[in-house]
Structure 1
Amino acid sequence: MIRLDPNEISFPNPQIYDGHEGIIAFGGDLSMERIWFAYQNGIFPWFNPDEEILWWCPDPRFVLFPSELKVSKSMRKILNNHLFTFTENQNFREVIKNCQQVSRKGQDGTWLSDELMESFIQLHEYGFARSVEVWQNGELVGGFYGLQVGKVFCGESMFAKVSNASKAGFINFVEAHKDQFALIDCQSHTEHLESLGATMISKQEFLKTLYENNERR
């Protein structure tokens, strides 16, 4: 692995450097500028609070092609019955705060540090990060956030306070933007997202799709 210089925003080229089990670098900082540069190159931070910053570009990569979204009959019924309402970018700070604080089965803590959270909030203020809010009876009961890199949405974290809230929000988001996004980056495997149609592709295929659909490169 390569140690990053905190005074220089750069990463190893993930197209030619594999690193160790998906980790291609460590160190550096969590500035808004470095995070945005990382995501434009298919790299994301993921580490425990007591560890150094770890930067990942795993192979294979877990993604969802919007046209391959799977919606079960039970979820379609929930959506058709309008049990939830959905908004976008209406309360980014509360969404990311809940993603940090809501407890998850099998997890003792959170990888989402205060410093990282503030950088994502800055990215939202610049229009690069977006949130989806799921409401029930006027209460925020679920949601998720991520970064939009051209026509690729890089999902970061989601939360749910009631059953099916985050899943309904994700389905609504994908269906509403199926013509806008070429790919939804889910990063790492979860059964939750696999049930919705997410699948593994090679790192090279992911990076090719990312670069071809990023007008900012």
Structure 2
Amino acid sequence: MAGDRLPAPPRERKPALAALAALLVLVGALGTTVLVMQAGDRIEVIRITERVPQGQQIPESAMAPVLVAEADGVNYVPWSQRATVREELRAGTDLVAGAVLVGEMLTGEETLGRNEVIVGLSLQPGQFPSGLEPGDSVAAYWVGKPSGGEQEDGGAMRSVLVERARVEAIHSDDGALGNSSLPVTLRVNRSDAPGLARAASDGDVTLVIVPAGDTGSDD
């Protein structure tokens, strides 16, 4: 009949386009899954919170935990190893606040700080305390006889040469028991070295063990 509408042509389906849309949806879902997995794959490592000079031990106060994404080829130091870092290792380079600690920044060797030097002493019995051992903190006193000024103990004057030094090595096992000298190696600040070396060459140095937390002499 003239008034009847012509049938509409059937829609042409495009299977390739439908497959592409499904593939894009799948790729998007996989990408989201990977991102979620990476966000959850984090490790707790050590972050430095204050400057630690090269050669110094890293105190507990200079370490804090931080979460980072685990990455191949990056030797992060886990937070669980902080005790080992504090007690057995030292800064192999200057560490600055905010740096994430990696293994290459640490060393197990006894390295000198920028302002430290090693000084050798040859001490006679009576110039060092009994039981002196490597690792002890000591103060060094000058006990020579000046030409004038205040004197103590029958003409000998005592003044502080070094408020704090660390015994690095003792090179004789029987110096404290016999009459031979005791070679002692000290780690001191660079500014203290000249006076200590002069007094040591004259045999006018006495060592005194001080507490590990001591900040100096009260003289």
The two structures share one fold, judged by TM-score above 0.5 = no
User: Which structure would you say has the larger Rg?
Assistant: 2
Return the structure number with greater helix share. Answer: 1
TM-score range, shorter-chain basis?
A: under 0.3
Query: If the length of structure 1 is used for normalisation, what is the TM-score?
Result: 0.24
Q: Return the structure number with greater relative CO, CA threshold 8 A, min gap 6.
A: 1
